Amino acid sequence: MTTPIKPAALLKVLILDSDNEKWRQLQERLAKTEGEELSIHRAVLIMGVLVLLSFVGLGYCTVLLPEFSSNISQRIIRSVCALGLASLFCQVVFLGCWVWYRKALKKLREECRRLVLSIAGPGLDELNGPVRALDLHDRFLASF
């Protein structure tokens, strides 16, 4: 019994087996978009950590510093607030970029699915139940 593979992994396997230039370009675009999406996702997480650290720093300054009104602590508080505000702004921008990359990745994967279905053709309708990765892969290779 074969185990089902995630659709994105199946598309990668099918693209890797092809010698077609169009498929190779699609694979390069897919790999580039996935890498950029992962980088943006990491940036969103890092900015989230910085926002949390600035809130913790602000809480520490206001609650635990004995000389809260001194000139040095005011500079620290302003610095922590500036870090928190800048991190929050960057997080919102990165989150918007991440959503945009997710949409682009979804569009590329849909293009891959259309290509696979155009090659696999009408034989896919014969499969009952969940499509297994090896069945689709064998049909793809048999079409060449």
d(CA 3, CA 6) in angstroms, rounded, equals 10
Structural domain count of the chain: 1
Segments forming the whole domain that contains residue 53: 22-121+130-138
Residue 3 Ramachandran class (φ > 0 left, ψ -120 to 50 alpha, else beta)? beta
pLDDT at 142: 55
- Number of residues that this document lists for the chain: 144
**pLDDT digit string (tens) for the chain, length 144 residues:** 455 556 666 666 666 656 677 777 888 888 898 899 999 999 999 999 999 999 888 888 777 777 766 666 777 778 888 989 999 999 999 999 999 999 999 998 888 888 777 766 655 544 444 445 555 555 555 554
- In contact, 139 and 123? CB cutoff 8 Å: yes
In a domain, 2, yes or no: no
- In contact, 140 and 23? CB cutoff 8 Å: no
In a domain, 14, yes or no: no
Q: Is 70 helix (H, G, I), strand (E, B) or coil?
A: coil
